[in-house]
Amino acid sequence: MLLAVFKKSDKFYQFLDDYGIGGKWIKFEELNSIKNGIIICDAKFYIGGGIFFNNQPHFEYYGKDVDTDAACCPSLEGKSHYILVNDRIAEIYLAHDRTHPYK
């Protein structure tokens, strides 16, 4: 999945940047809103984070091995936040937001 940002000029939109925001074994996201320049996406994360070790999914959640989500179905609900800095997309982690389990 890609997040793309365009800048509107008088007659056309100019592409600025794109950023991979998820996929199988990473996370699934859906655009929620844009507030104060921050792009907010509803996200579903995999238990364990979908981290690969020796080309196999390796799952650890807060330091403990746990039952894991199937590749089709991440189950941890949360939010991801992105911002445009110097025409580049960057993911940000908000200290007050506890909905991103991989911080």
9 lies in some domain: no
13 lies in some domain: no
Q: What is the pLDDT of residue 5?
A: 93
Q: Residue 52 pLDDT > 50, yes or no? A: no
pTM: 0.70
HSE-up (13 A, CA, CB side) for residue 8: 0
The helix or strand, by DSSP H or E, that contains position 9, with its residue range, turns out to be none
Q: Domains in the chain: how many in total?
A: 1
Q: Residue 70 pLDDT > 50, yes or no? A: yes
35 lies in some domain: yes
Q: Residue 85 pLDDT > 90, yes or no? A: yes
34 lies in some domain: yes
| Radius of gyration of the CA atoms of the chain, in A | 16
Q: Residue 78 pLDDT > 60, yes or no? A: yes
64 lies in some domain: yes
Structural domain containing residue 57: 24-89
42 lies in some domain: yes
